[in-house]
Structure 1
Amino acid sequence: MFSEQLKIARKQKSLSQAALGKLLGVQAQTIGRWETGKSEPNLETVNKLCEILNIPLYSLISKDVDYQLNYEEAFVIKKYRELNDDGKQMIINLLKMI
């Protein structure tokens, strides 16, 4: 559930509701309403939350996520998926050398 995932992500970054609200440009009470499920932000705001919290979008909207990728990890996966088969094989070969 979004409200629970938001609260978990915020606490993992050691941010108060007020601090997150300041970074996002909203009041702490707004963050509180989102975390209690009384209201939800629009998609643009959710994307900003993901940037601030350094998490991928699915980690806020999926309750089945067992782990959370940070922004850089999600970016690498996204770029890998955009590669053709030769590019993917090159990445795999490079990683094996590490």
Structure 2
Amino acid sequence: MNQIMIGKFIAFKRKQKNLTQEQLAQILNISNKTVSKWETGKSMPDYTLVKPLCEALNISVSELIDGQTSNESVKINEDQLIELMRKTQQLENQRVLLYGVIFVTMGTSMQALAYSTDKSYLFGCMLFVSIVELILGLGTIIRYLLK
């Protein structure tokens, strides 16, 4: 999937239907900034919005994923495609959680290592780095949990 190509396709189809980003956002009950992020290729639609987006733009899910209108009558099970997108998004979220856990683990290890030094300049640096890692890790985990 090419996010930029998909974004350009969404913008093209939206303009073809004479819709503004704001109007499309209202149809989908999201913000116009979200539509803008899709169209610039900065993010992809959430799997829960794929079918409503396709209905609003009068395209198929496979056309959305391809980023172009399909002239072929290819039979793709759209429910399976959406399920694949859901699982991909879920894995992406789990990756974020894993980063948080790694940062917390590194911070804890660095703190233990700092206390095993001779309490010099190195101790201060290691303690500072461990605190930063713990804050980053906890922030990442909290952001994951609030999603």
TM normalised by structure 1 equals 0.62
* 8 Å contact kept, 2:7–2:67: no
Matches within 5 A, 1:49-88: 49-63=53-67, 65=69, 67=71
Q: Higher helix share goes to which structure?
A: 2
The share of aligned pairs that are identical, in percent, is: 38
Aligned pair count reads 71
Tell which structure's C-alpha radius of gyration is larger: 2
With CA pairs under 8 Å and 6+ residues apart, which has the higher RCO, 1 or 2?
1
Over 3 Å counting, the alpha-carbon distance change for 1:22 and 1:47 in structure 2 is same
C-alpha RMSD over aligned residues: 2.3
The residue that corresponds to 2:14 in the other structure is: 10
Q: CA deviation at 1:3?
A: 0.7
For structure 2, the residue ranges without an aligned partner over 5 or more in a row are: 76-147
Q: CA deviation at 1:66?
A: 5.6
The amino acid across from 1:34 in the alignment is W
Moved over 2 A (4+): 63-67
Q: What secondary structure sits across from 2:59 in the alignment?
A: coil
For structure 1, the residue ranges without an aligned partner over 5 or more in a row are: 79-98
Q: What secondary structure sits across from 1:40 in the alignment?
A: coil
Instruction: Give, in whole Å, the separation in 1 of the partners of 2:69 and 2:13.
Output: 12
Q: CA deviation at 1:16?
A: 0.2
Q: What secondary structure sits across from 2:42 in the alignment?
A: coil
TM normalised by structure 2 equals 0.43
